[in-house]
Amino acid sequence: MRSKLPMPIVAARDAAILLVSLGACLTMGCASRDAAPAATQPATPEGNAALLHHIADQPYVTADAGYRAIYVLWKREAFSGSFAELSSLLRENRIIDTCWNHEPATRLTRADVGFMVCRACDIRTGINWMVSGMGRYAWRELQFNNIAGGGGELGYIRGGELVAVLARAGEYRERQAGHNPDELVKDETQP
């Protein structure tokens, strides 16, 4: 059934509906993006194995867990201080960007993780990454080096995905240091 309203009124009505719908989508889409619900994110455990197990079980990685995992990749030991102390330390050493103000429950994107992994492992081979220092190029650099799998750099990183990236980044780091990662784990019964 055709509307009996004059054409300019119909166009104005349709434009108003479109603007209201678009505004609702934009606000609702951004409402829960920054922080994960507190009830679904248990406290981040200390210790390397417990931390990796915790991360692997999470649907998305929070800044607290991600920063602690990157610290382990960078220093090869767990960090037992507060999130604020860890953030400050990573910022001072340029592992995280100086303008980042993540809260502990903020979900990390693949670009965030790419930035941190490239800095922690001293990966500087891509021209776009070297010139811009942007996380999106860092993630692509990790993909080029077979450290990261597929997926766009702007999406949130899942727990299992981060664990896989950390494992491959550790192997990459060992190869760059001249070690064969396969020889690092030897059977103690062999001479």
pLDDT tens digits, one per residue of 23-74: 443 333 333 344 444 434 555 656 678 888 888 888 999 999 999 999 999 9
Q: Give the count of alpha carbons within 13 A of 103, CB side only.
A: 8
Q: What is the pLDDT of residue 183?
A: 55
Q: What is the pLDDT of residue 127?
A: 74
Q: Which of 4-8, 27-31, 56-60, 92-96 has the lowest mean pLDDT?
A: 27-31
| Mean pLDDT over the full length of the chain | 76
Q: What is the pLDDT of residue 26?
A: 36
Q: Hey, is 106 helix, strand or coil?
A: strand
Q: What is the pLDDT of residue 8?
A: 52
* CB-based contact 175:184 (threshold 8 Å): no
Please report whether residue 57 resides in a domain.
yes
Q: What is the pLDDT of residue 150?
A: 83
Please report whether residue 52 resides in a domain.
yes
Check pLDDT > 90 for residue 6.
no
Q: Give the count of alpha carbons within 13 A of 22, CB side only.
A: 6
Position 185, amino acid: V
Position 59, amino acid: P
Please report whether residue 163 resides in a domain.
yes
Count of domains forming the chain = 1
Please report whether residue 32 resides in a domain.
no
Check pLDDT > 70 for residue 179.
no
Q: Given pLDDT bands bounded at 50, 70 and 90, which one contains residue 141?
A: confident
Check pLDDT > 60 for residue 185.
no
Please report whether residue 22 resides in a domain.
no
Q: Which domain holds residue 70?
A: 43-177
- Which residues fall within 8 angstroms of residue 47, CB to CB, at 6 or more apart? 78
Q: What is the pLDDT of residue 135?
A: 72
Q: How far apart are CA 129 and CA 115, in angstroms?
A: 9
Please report whether residue 88 resides in a domain.
yes
Please report whether residue 16 resides in a domain.
no
Q: Given pLDDT bands bounded at 50, 70 and 90, which one contains residue 189?
A: very low
Please report whether residue 137 resides in a domain.
yes
